[in-house]
Amino acid sequence: MSELRWKSWPAQPRGRSVSQSSLISARNIHRTYTLGKKTVEVLRGIDLEIGRGERVFLCGASGAGKTTLLYTLAGLERPERGRVHIEGADLYSLSQREQSRVRNSKMGYIFQNYYLLPELTALENVMVPGMIRSKNHRRQAMELLDEVGLGGRAHHLPAELSGGEQQRVAIARALVNKPTMVFADEPTGNLDSRNGGEVMALLLEFSKNLGTTLVVVTHDRILAEKGDRTLEIADGQMAGENPGLATEVD
């Protein structure tokens, strides 16, 4: 990826040691689901902190609770007990309107299934979040498509793009509002190893260059090692933590 052109977008310092306060803080997070007559406790008292610009991967077996944890941190799923603080503010104590503002202005989302609007072109899909905030977003959306290598595919519909290309559009869409943090749920899950590696490299490079905090759920431990930390989730609890290769290099 070429050097990013958004010079007006200042990078933030990366890593927990930079600031005494965490960007994301979760305390005693509990979440249960009811399946028929059975109640399943998915998250059981999880505590964690994630620093500004940090790249953290959540790993664990299927059903361990990592996706539920990601959605809870991202303001998409309210915990039954516990608190999530974003930049010191108690996220779920905010009004619905304030929560929406935080999600739209500070957070970007990437999902395994892309969730592109099929009737919109790649460029229009990237522009969707910006339409809520500003009328002046077409140029930014086009610049991002250039950065992810899809400048020449801007006017193609999702059905005309490969899986890897669709996920690149989703990355551009997640970044168009210049978020402080990006949450990605299995972003390479539907891609082959080559495309998956390219998409993850793109995400990590954006995070490093722009100082964006990145929280990723993945089953791919080789990819997870490229971040700053890997958090192991097992049976709804924090089971371990390992430093990533990025920490060793830095």
The CATH number of residue 85's host domain is: 3.40.50.300
* Structural domain includes residue 5: no
| pLDDT for 5 | 46
Q: Under DSSP, is residue 202 helix (H, G, I), strand (E, B) or coil?
A: helix
**pLDDT beyond 90 at 43:** yes
For tokens 């509990």, name the residue. Answer: 30
| Lowest-confidence region among 16-20, 30-34, 205-209 | 16-20
Query: Could you tell me the pLDDT band of residue 17, with boundaries at 50, 70 and 90?
Result: very low
- At 211, list the tokens: 């100082």
Amino acid in position 196: G
| pLDDT for 16 | 42
* Structural domain includes residue 236: yes
* Structural domain includes residue 28: yes
* Structural domain includes residue 170: yes
| pLDDT for 245 | 80
For residue range 183-204, what is the model confidence (pLDDT) as tens digits?
A: 999 999 999 999 999 999 999 9
Sheet holding 107-111, edge to edge: 107-111, 181-185, 213-217, 55-59, 229-234, 237-243
* Structural domain includes residue 3: no
- Taking the C-alpha atoms of residue 146 and residue 141, their distance in angstroms, rounded to an integer, is 9
Q: Whose CA is closest to 82, among 132, 130, 36, 42?
A: 42
The larger pLDDT score, comparing residue 225 to residue 248, is at 225
DSSP labels, 93-162:
GS-HHHHHHHHHHHEEEEETT----TTS-HHHHHHHHHHHH-S--HHHHHHHHHHTT-GGGTT--GGGS-
**pLDDT beyond 90 at 120:** yes
Amino acid in position 136: N
| pLDDT for 6 | 40
**pLDDT beyond 70 at 247:** no
What is the rounded average pLDDT of the residues 8-36? Answer: 69
* Structural domain includes residue 4: no
What is the rounded average pLDDT of the residues 152-169? Answer: 96
| pLDDT for 18 | 36
Q: Whose CA is closest to 233, among 64, 47, 50?
A: 64
Angle at 202 between CA 200 and CA 208, to 5 degrees: 100
Contact 94, 102 (CB under 8 A): yes
Query: Domains in the chain: how many in total?
Result: 1
* Structural domain includes residue 211: yes
Within 147-228, strands assigned E span 181-185, 213-217
What is the rounded average pLDDT of the residues 230-248? Answer: 88
Amino acid in position 217: V
What is the rounded average pLDDT of the residues 45-62? Answer: 96
- At 108, list the tokens: 């970007």
Domain range for 243 is: 16-249
Query: Could you tell me the pLDDT band of residue 130, with boundaries at 50, 70 and 90?
Result: confident
| pLDDT for 137 | 81
For residue range 70-118, what is the model confidence (pLDDT) as tens digits?
A: 999 999 999 999 999 999 999 999 999 999 999 999 999 999 999 999 9
* Structural domain includes residue 7: no
